[in-house]
Amino acid sequence: MLRIENLHAKVGNVEVLRGVNLELAAGEVHAIMGPNGSGKSTLAHVLAGREPYEVTGRVLYEDRDLLAMTPEERATAGVFLAFQHPVEIPGVGNLYLLRTAFNSIRRARGLEELGPVEFLGLAEEKMKLVEMDRSFMNRSVNEGFSGGEQKRNEIFQMAILEPKLAILDETDSGLDIDALRVVANGVNSLRSPERTMLVITHHQRLLEYIIPDRVHVMAGGRIVRSGGKELAVELEAHGYAGLDQLTTPLRSEPVGVPQ
């Protein structure tokens, strides 16, 4: 599904990603952990096509050159990014934005658009996954939402758009235990053999709910360790001390595929 080879990214003269190698197969869930400033969110933004990064390297998504695609092309091809800090859009209805995005993707794929009544039925069904109240449909996007409501809304958007590659950037940030459970249950309900997920998090607690196939540790702009869920438990116990001193990956081949 996704193959990242020697990915570098700079902002001005600052190199943030310094040779990321990673491979995710269809249907897998991979988690990336690491300290602040290690490049986790930058990786998410680069995959989604956010500017102003100067990017080199190779990223193949379903055998297509992802880096050559515009953000709009990536979205219609099934790439989705759940933001660490969702943006408020005053005056734009939550349901209106979602229907517009949903039908834009359908048009790009040569499919018939859904009318308001049909889309409303779809939205009501998907809202159950994240236990959202129907009133959220008529509110402006993220305006006045609590942190938990914003993150539920991100997963609601994901449920509507049904991406093939979902990148979740610190979806657990700012969530209490109850909200974390709801969001994680929503994510788990969307797992499928056709959908790949890349989950970025600081904490092992999210991975108690969303069980990953692989866990990777990022430090200094590179992936420096990979393993199973036990790696997340180890990091929770011992922290990230010493990771910034690792300046080269532990192995030269793309990380993420069990050897």
**pLDDT tens digits for 173-230?**
777 788 888 888 888 888 889 899 999 987 788 888 888 889 999 988 999 989 888 8
pLDDT at 147 over 80: no
Which tokens hold the place of 249? 């990956």
Q: How many whole angstroms from its chain centre is CA 90?
A: 24
CA atoms within 13 A on the CB side of 201: 29
The 10s digit of each residue's pLDDT in 73-95 is 999 899 999 887 778 788 888 88
Neighbours of 179 (CB within 10 A): 20
What per-residue confidence (pLDDT) applies to 13? Answer: 87
- Give start and end residues of each alpha helix (H) in the chain: 40-48, 71-76, 94-108, 116-127, 147-161, 177-189, 229-238
What per-residue confidence (pLDDT) applies to 242? Answer: 60
pLDDT at 256 over 60: no
What per-residue confidence (pLDDT) applies to 12? Answer: 85
The amino acid sitting at 135 is S
The mean predicted confidence, pLDDT, of the chain is 84
What per-residue confidence (pLDDT) applies to 165? Answer: 94
Residue with the bigger pLDDT between 242 and 117: it is: 117
Class for the domain spanning 2-245: alpha beta
Which tokens hold the place of 60? 């193949």
Q: How far apart are CA 60 and CA 72, in angstroms?
A: 17
pLDDT at 160 over 80: yes
What per-residue confidence (pLDDT) applies to 243? Answer: 62
> For the chain, what are the domain ranges?
2-245
- Do residues 183 and 172 make contact, with C-beta atoms less than 8 angstroms apart? yes
Question: ∠ CA(198), CA(186), CA(86), 5° rounding?
Answer: 65
The amino acid sitting at 188 is N
The H-or-E segment that residue 166 falls in is strand 165-169
- Give the global pTM: 0.84
Burial (Cβ within 10 Å: 0-12, 13-18, ≥19) of residue 8? middle
Which tokens hold the place of 137? 């449909």
Q: How far apart are CA 193 and CA 28, in angstroms?
A: 8
Q: Which residues contact 125 (CB under 8 A, 6 or more apart)?
A: none
Find the radius of gyration of the CA atoms of the chain. Answer: 18
pLDDT band at 129 (very low <50, low <70, confident <90, very high): confident
Q: Give the relative orientation of helices 147-161 and 177-189 as an angle to the nearest 10 degrees.
A: 0
The 10s digit of each residue's pLDDT in 41-68 is 899 999 988 878 899 999 999 989 999 9
pLDDT at 257 over 70: no
